Amino acid sequence: MIEALSESMTLVRKGGVEPERFLEIVNDHLFRSPVYGAYGGLIAKGEFEPAGFTLRLGLKDTRLVLAAADEEEVPMPMASLVRDRYLTGMARGMGELDWAGLGRLAAEDAGLEGG
């Protein structure tokens, strides 16, 4: 969910739409979720510190999920993708940011500054 919000907000920012407006549309009319509201708000504002749950811990938990999936022979392509996104964030020194810092990573990948 955080990765999807990160990519979506990056797209709308590049297209000239305010991320807060996009979040309002998504959260008020499509999904209405406190999780979307909370993490979407952090991504829209580029506020990744202080961390409530670090990107480093998100990577750890994703690795645990993938290990369990391997044990049960359950393919989890989305979890693998998210693990790779966390690894990229770690490589860029973002490990102690909130895991919503995936928003900064997506923005940087698209040539935007400030997450």
Contact by Cβ (8 Å): 51, 96 = yes
Q: In the predicted model, is pLDDT for residue 114 greater than 90?
A: no
The residue extents of the domains of the chain are: 2-109
DSSP letter string, 20-44: HHHHHHIIIIII--HHHHHHHHHHH
pLDDT at 1 over 70: yes
> What topology is assigned to 2-109 in CATH?
N-(1-d-carboxylethyl)-l-norvaline Dehydrogenase; domain 2 (1.10.1040)
Predicted confidence at residue 31, as pLDDT, reads 80
| Tens digit of each residue's pLDDT (9 = 90 or more) over 13-65 | 999 999 999 999 988 888 888 888 999 999 999 999 999 999 999 999 999 99
Question: What is the predicted pLDDT for the residue at 115?
Answer: 59
Q: How far apart are CA 70 and CA 89, in angstroms?
A: 24
List all residues 6 or more positions away from 100 whose beta carbon is below 8 Å from its beta carbon.
Answer: 2, 6, 39, 42, 43, 48
Q: pLDDT tens for residues 66-97?
A: 999 999 999 999 999 999 999 999 999 999 99
- Residue 22's alpha-carbon distances to 25, 37, 81, in angstroms, are 5, 11, 24
